[in-house]
Chain A
Amino acid sequence: MVKFEIHDLNIWFGSAHAIKHVNMEIQSNEILSVIGPANSGKTTFLRTLDRLNELNINYKMTGAVELEREDVRGIEIEELRRKIGMVFALPLPLPLSIFDNVAYGIRMHGEKRRRKLEEKVEETLLQAYLWEEVKDRLSESAFKLSGGQQQRLCIARTLAVGPEVILFDEPCSGLDPISTAKVEDAMVKLKEKYTIVLVTNNVKQAARVGDRTAFFLSGELIELDKTDKIFTAPLDKRTDGYIRGKFG
């Protein structure tokens, strides 16, 4: 099933043309990796999906992004962001306790019952492989966790809202290999229930977890295909050059 359809997407920040004529589809329950060198528009593309770019006042977009055949600009913004979760590049806990971080989203959506909150916090921390490490210290500040733990906390926090899609924006860029492996494990597991878009600087990571891989260069979508195909027999020589590490 098609989750997202993107039609002739163009994005400008001021006079900078960040995304150029992108057309693509994102399937339900797949992990789509987005790779490309710095400044190729990967993150901008990701932030278009849940309309976070609109916080930038110079932002201008043409074309359309459709979530299940509905234009995202027609969906109420809180509702849209409830459906589409985001995990940012750096671990960004809110200045709250571990428990309150995970419960923040559902609280904002009106859940007040303590029992429900506790259930949800435990359930999502388990999904993010963090429960065992934090179950006895839920009331401590989230900033006391290590970087890798913080990032898994952010994943749990995103899951708690009950999204359909999760966007990962270079989620492992600040993490050591072991933490990275844990986050990747969590992602692969999550694929069963969620649609995942993973922006990554790490080509090997895209090869490890992605079902399909998209290669962006200077705001253009150069190639999008099954991950195996992209990494063994890419059609475009620029894709080949990038994954072999010839530039970027």
Chain B
Amino acid sequence: MVIIIQKGLPAINWQFLSDIPRQGMRAGGIFPAIVGTIYLVLGAIIFALPIGLLAAIYLSEYSKDNLLTRLIKLAIVNLAGVPSVVYGLFGLALFVIFLKFGASIISGSLTLGIMILPVIITTSREALESIPQSFREVSLSLGASKWQTIRHIVLPNAIPGILTGTILGLGRAAGETAPILFTVAAFYLPQLPHSIFDQAMALPYHLYVISTQVPNVDEKIRYGTALVLLALVLIMNLVAIIIRYKFRKRKKW
């Protein structure tokens, strides 16, 4: 960490952050990779958060406790531990080849989304289940319907926990190389993507490329890229932690 900051900090300047890579990535900036990573993370969240949340609500509030749902819950927990390269291959097979999206932002986002889905479902479910049963009983006893109870009592109080899951997912999605390797990442593409069906550069893969695939890249650029990636993940987590903190302060029991 110290080494990364020490060696990377001198590379960071406005030009490095806002310019496209030049001279076969040996000079210039990393702007397309930053933008690509942000697109991918946003895409993954847009896809995974609604589905993950609905799945968590179903599992914790509606499903009956039987063998099937227990198996499903176990499978979800296990999916969270599957190596990311497996998700990459899955994304390649399903989105890139079968659905013919090609290597594109949408393929990459969906692959990352599927990868973080188990994390979001598991943590959201735990957040929902931590809401005291008595709140649900009170709400129901006042004649509120089950959905009203979830919507007005359970969900608002589970938001901090749900955000935690989303943070974990976000951080993982931003940093992974393997899932985007086959589905979206461009080796060298010194321009911004024009649509979600374009390829894009992404920070983790760019870092891998300039570290191992391109000879004679200045050390400064490599560590600078690593530092930017770290900072990006850190900033995202920080924003989410602040939101969470705000909610927690409002917590009333």
In-complex Cβ contact of A95 among B64, B133, B144, B253 (8 A):
B253
> A141, B137: Cβ atoms under 8 Å?
no
> A108, B142: Cβ atoms under 8 Å?
yes
> B137, A94: Cβ atoms under 8 Å?
no
A-B contact count (CB 8 A): 68
- Asked if A16 CB lies within 8 Å of chain B CBs, one says no
> With a CB–CB cut-off of 8 A, which chain B residues contact A143?
252-253
16 pairs from A and B in contact (CB 8 Å cutoff) = A55-B136, A57-B64, A78-B143, A79-B143, A81-B141, A81-B142, A86-B141, A94-B139, A95-B252, A104-B152, A108-B139, A108-B142, A108-B148, A109-B143, A142-B252, A143-B252
In-complex Cβ contact of A141 among B65, B133, B143, B252 (8 A):
B252
- Asked if B135 CB lies within 8 Å of chain A CBs, one says yes
Interface 1/0 per residue, B127-141 and A, CB below 8 Å = 000000111111111
> B153, A94: Cβ atoms under 8 Å?
yes
* Bound Cα distance A88, B252 (Å): 19
> B141, A108: Cβ atoms under 8 Å?
no
> A55, B137: Cβ atoms under 8 Å?
yes
In-complex Cβ contact of B152 among A57, A88, A108 (8 A):
A108
- Asked if A52 CB lies within 8 Å of chain B CBs, one says yes
- Asked if B123 CB lies within 8 Å of chain A CBs, one says no
- Asked if B157 CB lies within 8 Å of chain A CBs, one says yes
> B134, A88: Cβ atoms under 8 Å?
yes
Known: A141-B252, A142-B252. A105 touches B142 (CB 8 A): yes
- Asked if B251 CB lies within 8 Å of chain A CBs, one says yes
- Asked if B145 CB lies within 8 Å of chain A CBs, one says yes
Interface 1/0 per residue, A62-101 and B, CB below 8 Å = 0000000000000000110110011010101011100000
> With a CB–CB cut-off of 8 A, which chain A residues contact B157?
95
* Bound Cα distance A81, B137 (Å): 11
- Asked if A158 CB lies within 8 Å of chain B CBs, one says yes
* Bound Cα distance A157, B142 (Å): 8
Taking Cβ atoms with an 8 Å cutoff, the residues of A that contact B are 50, 52, 55, 57, 78-79, 81-82, 85-86, 88, 90, 92, 94-96, 104-105, 108-109, 141-143, 154, 157-158, 161
> With a CB–CB cut-off of 8 A, which chain A residues contact B64?
57
B 206-228 contacts with A by CB, 8 A = none
* Bound Cα distance A94, B141 (Å): 12
> B65, A94: Cβ atoms under 8 Å?
no
Given A57-B64, A143-B253, 4 further pairs, Cβ under 8 A: A55-B137, A92-B135, A94-B135, A104-B142
Q: Which residue of B lies closest to A141 (CB)?
A: B252
> B141, A95: Cβ atoms under 8 Å?
no
* Bound Cα distance A53, B64 (Å): 16
Interface 1/0 per residue, B233-253 and A, CB below 8 Å = 000000000000000000111
Q: Which residue of B lies closest to A107 (CB)?
A: B152
Known: A94-B153, A108-B148. A52 touches B252 (CB 8 A): no
> With a CB–CB cut-off of 8 A, which chain A residues contact B142?
81-82, 85, 104-105, 108, 157-158, 161
> With a CB–CB cut-off of 8 A, which chain A residues contact B143?
78-79, 81-82, 105, 108-109, 161
> B153, A88: Cβ atoms under 8 Å?
no
Report the minimum CB–CB distance from B163 to chain A (whole Å). 17
> With a CB–CB cut-off of 8 A, which chain B residues contact A82?
142-143
> A95, B140: Cβ atoms under 8 Å?
no
> A52, B137: Cβ atoms under 8 Å?
yes
> With a CB–CB cut-off of 8 A, which chain A residues contact B141?
50, 52, 81, 85-86, 88, 158
> B137, A88: Cβ atoms under 8 Å?
yes
Q: Which residue of B lies closest to A79 (CB)?
A: B143
Q: Which residue of B lies closest to A84 (CB)?
A: B141
In-complex Cβ contact of B145 among A55, A57, A78, A142 (8 A):
A78
In-complex Cβ contact of A81 among B135, B140, B152, B253 (8 A):
B140
Report the minimum CB–CB distance from B76 to chain A (whole Å). 22
